[in-house]
Amino acid sequence: MPGPLSHIRVLDLGRIMAAPWATQILADLGADVIKIERPGAGDDTRAWGPPFLKAEDGTPTKEAGYFLAVNRGKRSVTLDIAKPEGQAIVKRIAETADVVVENFKAGALAKYGLDAASLRAQKPSLIYCSVTGFGQDGPRRDQAAYDFMIQAMGGLMSVTGERDGAPQKVGVPIVDLMTGMYATVAILAAIANRERTGQGETIDLAMLDVQAGFLANQAMNWLVGGKVPHRAGNRHPNIQPQDVFPAKDGHIVLAVGNDGQFAKLCEAIGRPDWAADPRFMKNQDRVRHEAALTPLLADRFRDFTRAELTALLDAAGVPCGPINSVPDVFADPQVLHRQMLRELPHPLAGRVQQVVNPIRLQDAPLTFETPPPTLGQHTAEVLGELGISDAERAALRDSGVI
């Protein structure tokens, strides 16, 4: 069955992660995504390894795991957009597209006539999404940015890490990922609005804006309470008990979310008196008296193994879980049941594993059949669709345009 976006074509001028994450989501939803890459090198992330995917004979390919994580379902076309011939082809593809996504520095594509103003003048119904570090205006508009520095500048690292330790970044490029998610939401909104009005849209998405936006409760804690949030390790600033706790043979995460769950916790571990203690009866009391509560729970939990404790709390309806490694995650029975890990055919490796999109649509289910492309794998195919002949493609190849 065709995906819900099978009627949409996306011209992907994105690189690295934020923009490609958005276009991969659109591809998963059925869109035809044409990814433009530099001849010879391609997207920077193709070289961001090791590890590299192994060919069927066991030798490493030039396909880095980083690239494979964000480019499933796309068609790769190599074009040198610095050359007039390359620009002309991109414009021809844009004429057939519904959406353009790019993450060049602000204003960088204007000199090629590939900016929003130029392409939307050519096709007013086009939806053009620009992803940058700091946006299309403001004092930092010309500066480059990477996820790590935005985590720092946007306040995330100030609230991540142990209380007395150094600031920490999140273990995945969360700003890139969230920016890609916000870009996807904005594009889908623009598609819906275009169906109503016939008009396209220009979307200006900045990573620093995104990071500021998803400070969420930490930002509101400061705005409402006036107290600057600080690193607190795994301790939740607003809900207790939520933390990492020791067992006999390791650690578990406890995520009590309300007073009823706290009472169930106390009953399950043989300390119902704690739920009646005025210091701990209500969440606001437990937050204020966290320094007293946490050691009590930690001492009690050490009487159980992780398996015993999680089984006990699961049976009582108290949210808890083990701290899994990445291999543990993909061995989890629930993750296996939900088929979050799939194998797709690959032209070099034979098969490539993919962590697939978590969206589940009952009436238009997502399908995962197309692996991340090899560099320029679809150049001839896409140019052929534009009516560019074999002889013309040969000339473009000889001149280094493709």
Q: Give the tens place of pLDDT for each residue, 174-208.
A: 999 999 999 999 999 999 999 999 999 999 999 99
pLDDT of 1 above 90:
no
Active site residue 176: yes
Looking at residue 2, what is its pLDDT?
Answer: 87
pLDDT tens digits, one per residue of 206-243: 999 999 999 999 999 999 999 999 999 999 999 999 99
Q: What is the mean pLDDT of the chain?
A: 97
Looking at residue 219, what is its pLDDT?
Answer: 98
Looking at residue 94, what is its pLDDT?
Answer: 98
Looking at residue 323, what is its pLDDT?
Answer: 92
pLDDT of 101 above 90:
yes
pLDDT of 266 above 90:
yes
Do residues 384 and 392 make contact, with C-beta atoms less than 8 angstroms apart?
no
The domains found in the chain, sorted by start residue, are 9-214+336-399 (3.40.50.10540), 242-323 (3.30.1540.10)
pLDDT of 348 above 90:
yes
346 pLDDT band, cuts 50/70/90, is very high
Angle of the 18-28 helix axis to the 174-197 helix axis, nearest 10 = 50
Model's pTM, two decimal places? 0.94
Looking at residue 224, what is its pLDDT?
Answer: 97
pLDDT tens digits, one per residue of 26-73: 999 999 999 999 999 999 999 999 999 999 999 999 999 999 999 999
Residue identified by tokens 């082809």 is 89
* pLDDT > 70 in the chain, percent: 100
Of 28, 43, 176, 243, which residue is the catalytic one?
A: 176
pLDDT tens digits, one per residue of 35-47: 999 999 999 999 9
| Antiparallel, parallel or unpaired: β 350-355 and 250-255 | unpaired
Looking at residue 22, what is its pLDDT?
Answer: 98
How confident is the model over 97-110, as a mean pLDDT?
Answer: 97
How confident is the model over 254-262, as a mean pLDDT?
Answer: 97
d(CA 81, CA 114): 9
Do residues 329 and 355 make contact, with C-beta atoms less than 8 angstroms apart?
no
Looking at residue 313, what is its pLDDT?
Answer: 97
| Antiparallel, parallel or unpaired: β 32-37 and 74-78 | parallel
